[in-house]
């Protein structure tokens, strides 16, 4: 006969084995996976207004499609107006069954580094829709560079794009959210905001900085009706390399991601982002393994994980 201690140990090992299997066969953290199955449905976005900043390509574009397909009204922003026109056409096509019409998708060209224009653009959203429910800060640039070779001007440029522009835009929108005691700010970070990936020091630093700013904001604003969701995607198929920074100012890496690379499909990532948003989750991890597994290890056994 097994004694109580042996039964307890067996139960603990069984639970650990189950959790490990769930992690290894998932493409998101456990809370996100549960919410995808049993949480708030995506149809809950219908009639709400979402401002997607960084909507011209990649995750932002596919997330716009996900929201439009379920009836959300959208303001879509990025620097490239021609690409935004294509995204709007795609949104109207997938949103047709949900009753979306031309006026439900507003094209709003925006360079997030031009912070003096943020209030004007926000006012345009309010004039067009009469309200804003969710701000999605998705814009940003990646980087490939060796730490010791990075010019300080590159650091400043990437922080202006990836951090300060998004922080300022959120501060512009916040008084409106606070006045109605309700609002939701979504920030696309990265697994690089949780781990230090090699050869992208400035990019990693900008994503860590976003956590610093918005985790603090959450602690201050939670009791005032403001939700903040930090989204941490891993490697995803996109055209992210086309505007990828290097160690030199005003230089872009260029190129495309190889089809043989192990990355998550952008459509799948965008769907999980939408699940995180409608369920107002604080932070989500979206990635294929082994990256997802290492996130858990580094979270709970940081020294071991880094080795």
CA distances from 83 to 80, 88, 108, 137 (A): 6, 9, 12, 18
* Bridge partners, residue 74, by sequence: 50, 105
- For residues 198 and 74, what is the distance between their CA atoms, to the nearest angstrom? 36
State residue 29 phi and psi, 5-degree precision.
Answer: -65, 165
What does the longest C-alpha to C-alpha distance in the chain come to?
74
Cα 132 from chain centroid?
Answer: 18
Measuring CA to CA, which residue among 27, 94, 41 is closest to residue 275? 41
Contacts with 198 (C-beta within 8 Å, 6 or more apart), sequence order: none
Per the residue annotation, which of 50, 203, 222, 237 is the catalytic one?
Answer: 203
Report the candidate in 230, 266, 278 with the shortest Cα–Cα distance to residue 42.
278
Tell me whether residue 176 is one of the annotated catalytic residues: no
Sign, CA dihedral 99-103-109-112, equals negative
Cis amide leading into 290 (omega within 30):
yes
From the number of C-beta atoms within 10 Å of its C-beta (0-12, 13-18, 19+), residue 303 rates as exposed
What's the DSSP call for residue 28? Answer: B
Q: Is 152 exposed, middle or buried (0-12, 13-18, 19+ CB in 10 A)?
A: exposed
Which CA distances in Å does 36 have to 1, 5, 26, 47, 203?
42, 36, 12, 21, 29
Q: Tell me the catalytic residues.
A: 203
């Amino acid at each position: 006969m097994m004694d109580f201690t042996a039964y307890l140990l067996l139960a603990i090992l069984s639970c650990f084995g189950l959790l490990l299997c769930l992690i290894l066969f998932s493409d998101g953290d456990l809370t996100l996976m549960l919410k995808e199955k049993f949480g708030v449905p995506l149809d809950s976005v219908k009639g709400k207004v979402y401002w997607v900043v960084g909507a011209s390509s990649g995750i932002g574009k596919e997330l716009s499609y996900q929201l439009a397909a379920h009836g959300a009204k959208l303001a879509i922003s990025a620097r490239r107006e021609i690409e935004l026109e294509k995204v709007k056409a795609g949104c109207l096509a997938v949103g047709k069954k949900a009753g979306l019409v031309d006026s439900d998708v507003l094209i709003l060209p925006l360079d997030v580094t031009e912070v003096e224009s943020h209030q004007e653009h926000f006012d345009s959203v309010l004039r067009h829709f009469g309200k804003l429910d969710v701000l999605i800060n998705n814009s940003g640039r990646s980087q490939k560079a060796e730490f010791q070779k990075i010019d300080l001007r590159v650091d400043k440029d990437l922080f202006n794009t990836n951090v300060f522009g998004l922080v300022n835009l959120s501060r512009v929108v916040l008084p409106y959210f606070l006045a109605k005691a309700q609002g939701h700010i979504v920030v696309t970070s990265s697994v690089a905001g949780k781990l230090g990936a090699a050869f992208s020091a400035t990019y990693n630093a900008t994503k860590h900085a976003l956590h610093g700013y918005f985790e603090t904001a959450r602690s201050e604003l939670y009791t005032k009706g403001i939700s903040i969701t930090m989204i941490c995607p891993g490697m995803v198929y996109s055209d992210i390399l086309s505007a990828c920074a290097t160690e030199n100012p005003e230089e872009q890496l260029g190129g495309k991601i190889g089809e043989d690379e192990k990355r998550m499909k952008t459509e799948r990532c965008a769907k999980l982002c939408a699940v995180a948003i409608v369920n107002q989750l604080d932070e989500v991890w979206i990635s294929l393994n082994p990256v997802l597994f290492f996130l858990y290890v580094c979270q709970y056994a940081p020294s071991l994980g880094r080795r």
